[in-house]
Amino acid sequence: MFSIKTYYVMAGKTGNTKMIEQFLADGMDHMFGNPGTVEQGFLDVLKTYQEIKYCLNLQESVALLMADGYARASQKPTLVQLHSSPGIGNAVGALYQAKRGHAPLVVIGGDSGVKYMNMDAQMANDLVAMMAPVTKYSTLVTDSRSLLRTLRRAIKIAATPPMGPVYVCVPMDILDEVNEEVVMPTSIPSTRVLPDASIIQSSAEMLLEAKNPMIFIGDGVAYSDATAELTQVAEILGAEVYGVEFGDFIMDNEHPLYQGNTGHMFGSYSHPITSKGDCNLIVGTYMMPEVFPNLGEIYHPDAKVIHFDLNSYEIAKSHRVDLGVVCDPKLTLQALANKLLELITEEQKTTAKKRTEQIGAAKNAMINADKKADDEVAGKMPLQMADFARVLAKKIPDNSVIFDEALTSSPPITRYLPPRKPGDIFYTRGGSLGIGIPGAIGVKLLHPEKTVLGFTGDGGSMYTIQALWSAARHNVGAKFIVCNNGGYKLLQLNIDQYWEGKNIEKHDFPLPFDLSYPAIRFDEIAKSMGVDALRVERPEEIGPAIDRMLADDKPFLIDLVIKGDINPDLVNKI
């Protein structure tokens, strides 16, 4: 890390050098990338700066998703280096996920040079246009005198809420020129803004008048560090709390008022939840994120809707809002809690307490029913995800972090390993697959002292399985569990819903949902990339495999073969 005295660097260096020193001035000491020829001068200079760790990946989407994990855990701008048009093309899907999740990624990509841009040569393309739909800001440096100011602008945009990925194309000839710019830290503006007292007053009055207040929250709560304030507001009101479109920890999963998340795929699942309240408080998210959302009214016709968010675009984007406020969630929720405590009557306190007890009792009954169902099939073949999660919960260290891309296998994980505090868990988001393994590696790089476990599926893992090689190369001791059910289980569940909605009789799933033939041996793949692994197929193998996984701080993979709806013989006849 640079000292203050070395921020202002002497002139006479090329853009390759000055760009690295700009990143160091901004505290960016990890770079996730995959090299190309047009970045050769920059990467040649990089080796002289031991302050930056270059995390080599074998494919651009892996680098992007690894950086996504690092950025989400640090909530700071994180550096990604990609190649020209083929490289950024490979990363577009992963960038979409980063944009939906507001990851502050600073993506730099090389190009052969400004002087070649009219030649339509090999790898030529409109790189800025390619990246614009999946970034918060996309630009090209066209003059060496504006290299550093453009980088600082991009870093500022990435880090200013609502955060998001940015792309800067840095042509090779611009970087090779002598750069006279001064290196200085990027200025990130504060967004800790509090609404007018009258707005807090109106919000408190509407919520206290409600007979059934509801709260819907997302990553804006996490990014603002507002979990404690949110919980206090929920407790004062006795309001159910649902997560909407989130990828980070937002509330203690064991709290009686926390009810999990609304639907991801179908608005018909979410509508009974969103329509039952008479006053809805939305904080740090938007309504609603399903793939097939409800096109009509999602709230009760008489319900009031209040929305607090730093992202003005999300307020009243698709559904009505009675009171929308651009504000910092943490400061605003604390002010709201104070005002609620000032205005609440004894009768309202009693009602809120009773409501909390009823909500908590119903939640416990559901959890107990799920655990009872787990007990009925425990120890039987084929393995259930709950068998593994129950044993893991007894052995996992207290400082553990889970990166959860298990999707259909996720419920048992949070049932037996409920996240309790910020940093306990990160989830996939954005609808794309492949972040489970690289995301866990990114978190482990930031927190080498913690046990980091990445859960993924057999389908999702194959998008980015090359990340195992990077874990071995850089000796990143993350742990990986592939929930291997032999197919795209989520697609099977979704088509069940489709058939039901269209009154189509249930029948065999489409064979493209089946991954059972030829069988993928994830343990053997891992070993070929330098990561030790075990395959678990029987109940008695679970405990020893977990013990082996947790025995040291080296990367390790468990190929967990669990129940699936598969037809390998039928697939083999294709």
In this prediction, residue 12 carries a pLDDT of 74
Answer positive or negative: Cα dihedral of 453, 454, 455, 461.
Answer: negative
19 burial via Cβ count (<10 Å: 0-12, 13-18, 19+)? buried
Which of 36-50, 145-159, 215-229, 244-258 is least confident?
Answer: 36-50
Contact, 192 vs 63, CB < 8 A? no
This prediction has a pTM of 0.95
Euclidean distance between CA atoms 93 and 59, whole angstroms: 13
- Distances, alpha carbon 539 to alpha carbons 526, 550, 558, in Å: 22, 18, 14
Which residues are registered as beta bridge partners of 403?
Answer: 426, 454
Phi-psi region of 316 (alpha: psi -120 to 50; beta: other; left: phi over 0): left
**DSSP SS3 for 235:** helix
In this prediction, residue 116 carries a pLDDT of 80
**DSSP SS3 for 136:** coil
- Distances, alpha carbon 380 to alpha carbons 17, 540, 541, 545, in Å: 60, 10, 13, 18
pLDDT for 10 beyond 90: no
Euclidean distance between CA atoms 393 and 410, whole angstroms: 14
Contact, 221 vs 286, CB < 8 A? no
Euclidean distance between CA atoms 421 and 253, whole angstroms: 9
- Give residue 38's pLDDT band: very low, low, confident or very high (50, 70, 90): confident
In this prediction, residue 121 carries a pLDDT of 82
Distance of CA 402 to the CA centre of its chain: 12
pLDDT for 8 beyond 90: no
Q: What amino acid is encoded at 284 in this protein? A: G
How many other C-beta atoms lie within 10 A of the C-beta of residue 348? 17
In this prediction, residue 114 carries a pLDDT of 85
**DSSP SS3 for 480:** strand
**DSSP SS3 for 173:** helix
Strands 323-326, 304-309: pairing kind: parallel
- Give residue 7's pLDDT band: very low, low, confident or very high (50, 70, 90): very low
pLDDT for 186 beyond 70: yes
Closest CA to 40 of 173, 129, 130: 173
Mean pLDDT across the chain: 94
- Give residue 220's pLDDT band: very low, low, confident or very high (50, 70, 90): very high
Which residues have a Cβ under 8 Å from the Cβ of 392 and sit 6 or more positions away? 416, 417, 546
Mean pLDDT value of segment 43-67? 96
pLDDT tens-digit profile of 200-212? 999 999 999 999 9
**DSSP SS3 for 251:** coil
Distance of CA 537 to the CA centre of its chain: 30
Contact, 234 vs 241, CB < 8 A? yes
Which tokens go with 344? 């609440």
Mean pLDDT value of segment 1-17? 59
pLDDT tens-digit profile of 287-337? 998 889 999 999 999 999 999 999 999 999 999 999 999 999 999 999 999
In this prediction, residue 429 carries a pLDDT of 86
pLDDT above 70: percentage of residues in the chain: 98
- Give residue 1's pLDDT band: very low, low, confident or very high (50, 70, 90): very low
- Give residue 264's pLDDT band: very low, low, confident or very high (50, 70, 90): confident
Q: What amino acid is encoded at 192 in this protein? A: R
- What does 507-553 look like in DSSP terms, one character per residue? -PPPGGGB--SSPP-HHHHHHHTT-EEEEE-SGGGHHHHHHHHTSSS
In this prediction, residue 9 carries a pLDDT of 45
Which tokens go with 141? 């440096």
Mean pLDDT value of segment 166-187? 96
Mean pLDDT value of segment 380-387? 96
pLDDT tens-digit profile of 78-99? 999 999 989 999 999 999 999 9
Euclidean distance between CA atoms 169 and 113, whole angstroms: 10
User: How wide is the angle at C-alpha 563 spanned by C-alphas 560 and 564, nearest 5°?
Assistant: 110
In this prediction, residue 3 carries a pLDDT of 39
pLDDT for 543 beyond 50: yes
- Residues 53, 58, 59, 61, Cα dihedral to 10°: -50
**DSSP SS3 for 243:** strand
Which tokens go with 469? 């090689």
Task: Count the alpha carbons within 13 Å of 124 in the hemisphere toward its beta carbon.
Answer: 10
Strands 166-171, 178-179: pairing kind: unpaired
Task: Count the alpha carbons within 13 Å of 230 in the hemisphere toward its beta carbon.
Answer: 34
- Give residue 119's pLDDT band: very low, low, confident or very high (50, 70, 90): confident
Answer positive or negative: Cα dihedral of 456, 460, 465, 471.
Answer: negative
- Give residue 6's pLDDT band: very low, low, confident or very high (50, 70, 90): very low
More confident residue, 10 or 242: 242
pLDDT for 158 beyond 70: yes
**Tokens 């409920």 sit on residue:** 418
Mean pLDDT value of segment 64-80? 97
pLDDT for 5 beyond 50: no
Which of 113-117, 386-390, 462-466 is least confident?
Answer: 113-117
Phi-psi region of 503 (alpha: psi -120 to 50; beta: other; left: phi over 0): left
Contact, 324 vs 315, CB < 8 A? yes
85 burial via Cβ count (<10 Å: 0-12, 13-18, 19+)? middle
389 burial via Cβ count (<10 Å: 0-12, 13-18, 19+)? buried
pLDDT for 227 beyond 80: yes
Q: What amino acid is encoded at 369 in this protein? A: A
* 422-432 b/e (C-beta count within 10 Å ≥ 16 → b): bebbbbbbbeb
